[in-house]
Amino acid sequence: MGDGRSAVAKPSRPHENRWSARKKTDAVVRLMREESLEELSREVRVEAHRLQACATSSWPAASKA
């Protein structure tokens, strides 16, 4: 590693992993309409557990289900 390069690859765009409040809201609404978590996760390129966490924190009734 003496060639000046880092051992860890850095993303070309640091904000690439972030998603807007609007996209998050849209995803939660789609989950509330009972769309498939797995299909939605693939479509919006967000891990299913993250979508589920957003849905349960945004929609209190979902956490009781």
How many domains is the chain built from? 1
Q: Are 55 and 31 in contact (CB under 8 A)?
A: yes
Look-up: residue for tokens 């967000």? 46
Question: Within a domain: residue 8?
Answer: no
Question: Within a domain: residue 38?
Answer: yes
Distance set, CA 39 to CA 31, 35, 61 (Å): 10, 8, 22
Tell me what pLDDT residue 33 has. 94
- Structure tokens, 41: 């996760």
Tell me what pLDDT residue 62 has. 47
Q: Are 24 and 54 in contact (CB under 8 A)?
A: yes
Q: How many residues does the chain have?
A: 65
Question: Within a domain: residue 48?
Answer: yes
Tell me what pLDDT residue 19 has. 77
Question: Within a domain: residue 55?
Answer: yes
Q: Is the pLDDT of residue 64 over 60?
A: no
Q: What is the pLDDT of residues 3-56, one digit of tens each?
A: 655 555 455 555 556 778 898 889 989 999 999 999 999 999 989 999 899 888
